[in-house]
Amino acid sequence: MIGMTGFNRMYTFIYHKDLERADWFYRDLLGLEMEPESDWVIYYKVKPGTTIGVVHDGRGYLRVTEDKPVILCLGVPDDGDIWEVYSRLKEAGVKMRTSEVELRETEGRVFFCEDPEGYIIEIVQRPRPKRDKEKVVEE
């Protein structure tokens, strides 16, 4: 048995009308490793055992809807550069939900954007202990 639950991986499935635009976002911009399962499901590995599954609309259990009641949160490693990620996405024309990288008391450094289908993506980096002199944004 692995852990207390016996589970050893987690997939989050989201539904897209255009798999090529999803691939541009998740593989080309975010740098996630792509693993096609079929011509209508593509997995993007966040880390071992944690995967975002993009499903082509009309083929999976659910359908694309206007309302996207999901936020996908991706963590930048402590030694990573969250500002570089923000700049790369903004320069590529990704719709940004925050005007800059913010420092929040709870989450740390954070910004929000949208993927091509309108899902909100939160990019977060935990703060380093007391070394950060940035202004904390009130939540």
Residues 57 and 15: beta-carbon distance below 8 Å: yes
pLDDT at 10 over 90: no
Specify the amino acid at residue 35: E
User: What DSSP state is assigned to residue 32?
Assistant: P
E strands of the chain, at which residues? 10-16, 33-36, 41-47, 50-56, 71-75, 102-104, 108-114, 120-125, 136-137
Predicted confidence band at 137 (pLDDT cuts at 50, 70, 90)?
Answer: low
pLDDT of residue 106: 79
Q: What tens digit of pLDDT does each residue of 38-54 get?
A: 999 999 999 998 999 99
Does pTM top 0.75 for this prediction?
Answer: yes
Of 64, 31, 35, 66, the closest CA to residue 51 belongs to 35
Taking the C-alpha atoms of residue 85 and residue 29, their distance in angstroms, rounded to an integer, is 9
Q: Helices then strands (H, E): number in the chain?
A: 2, 9
What does the pLDDT average to over 7-23?
92
Residue 45: burial class (beta carbons within 10 Å; 0-12, 13-18, 19+): middle
* pLDDT, tens digit, 9 for 90 and up, residues 74-130: 999 988 999 999 999 999 999 999 999 999 887 799 999 999 999 999 999 987 655
Alpha helices by DSSP H, the chain: 19-23, 82-91
Average pLDDT over residues 49-76: 93
Q: Which domains does the chain have, with CATH numbers?
A: 1-57 (3.10.180.10), 68-139 (3.30.720.110)
